[in-house]
Structure 1
């Protein structure tokens, strides 16, 4: 069964539905990209198709690149070719001469969001659990499907840099406020209806960067306000990373260099910086630790066999000093009742006061309420 299915309704609106076989989530790999490219060719050749809706049959839209595939790449030339192939496919999609709408039924991260950015419009179900972002930096990589070029041209360099450098994952409301998502829908039926309506109302859309009158939101890399950002951003990133995370530097380089050239050249620049990271030992180490090993731990594979899972309801802590006070705070935060024991009641109360101080700071920042503070402290005896 193909990982992509296409249907065309009576109004000439084609719906491409991604459904990768034997995978809980859709990921960008050969099994998905090959049929995707074939259907793009069919759309280009069929004059009867008036618009395209791209969506998913799974709970989430598209998780991003297949990490197994990326991890196995050791040849920089192959890494460059993989990035270029994805870009060429997405470029054909946005230049196919028909309106293309991403109907986001769930999470779209990394390459998943890059696919959505290549569409002319994005409609998402208003699901508070859905996440949107370009978190590749967390694995020592950068967005390799045009993300470092499309996102800054869409929402501006100053707004897009933190999202990529910190790998922020936005909820649906925040993504709409940022301008990454255009419309919200209550459910799948409304999402698809809005997507079709937009296709019919906009027969000849053009991506902002393909418009001859295009101007960068907030200015390109040569704009005085943006120049100030790039004057301090590298040193700030260096202070945080101590020069150990080349992905941050490569992302800034992609955005800066892409900000002084045309879109196509910027995409090639991105592919080169992407290839540099994919084959680096840093990314291999980060993927190995923060992806494979962490997922293994989260799935409980490090648990000894023959011991059932248990949940701590009440925790006794011997010593209310710096370590004990900290343990009490993080334990109470997740709902565990704590008993602090020290040589004097004054020492034990001091340990509890540590949590009260942290909660007072959270209240000042609007992250906690006085009522919430009381409930929290009641868990610490």
Structure 2
């Protein structure tokens, strides 16, 4: 039929050897295509039925179009698989891709109808029912509520005033803590600088340490003087750099290192037992906290003093007052609703299609997702089959 010896020797149309193997492969893929096509067509009928039962207007039309496309694609695929026609398989693939696009559109439309449009309708009805309840309040109860609330406003204004004052007090305490930390850090660094400068002066201004005396010292004494000078000079230089950079550079590790250097018994035997330096070492945790707060610069999050406790108490009183008023208003609204002022049940006022679509949402979404999976499987089978079948004229 195809007029070519090459075709008879290799009917699969692909780079496969063995005619029997090619025919067997074609038969398997053709059978798979027929099965998938039957499922595709059957699912299309189900989607058409669901769309007709649960949806209206555009969503219903989209579902019917999707079902018709799947039904047509399934029919073409079944005929193509039975006839083993590459052209029909290609047409099946094209129809399946179109149905796949319609499947995504259908799923999005269902989600919009149920969750957006009907949700807005429900929200509108809730607002209208609340409006009706508020309108139906008896004048005496409404005036009583307003009068009670006006009486509470004086206390609320007093609480607001007290809260503002406590907020300013808290900010003042935070700023005082900031300045206290800065002064504390500066005092401790000045203490180290004074001791280091004193060590330098004791060496450089000592009349007994002239050039001749230093030259006659043994190597151990020279090394001791050299270490003492280097350490003191390093401490003074580092603290001077800290002051030049506005106190933003020193870290606790550096401070501890400088303090340890000044209290090293092998270099500063005279400083090892100094009372100020011993106290500075005992206050290392305080220095660590001050340096951390200054580095993080989050004093506005800290709660020093007692102002924050007063502020919490004021806020709690305001919250209790507001909750009590809301409770009273809710009681009045509920009483009016029970007396029949609220009107009918909201479910009876919703549009019919919202009620029906809500009932069929789960099964329709499952059918839509299943349709996507079936389209993908059908497209894969159609593509695989078309690659194994020769085109007419080949």
Q: TM-score, normalised by structure 2?
A: 0.16
Higher share in strand: 1
Q: TM-score, normalised by structure 1?
A: 0.17
Higher relative contact order (CA 8 A, sep 6+): 2
Higher share in helix: 2
Q: Which has the larger radius of gyration?
A: 2
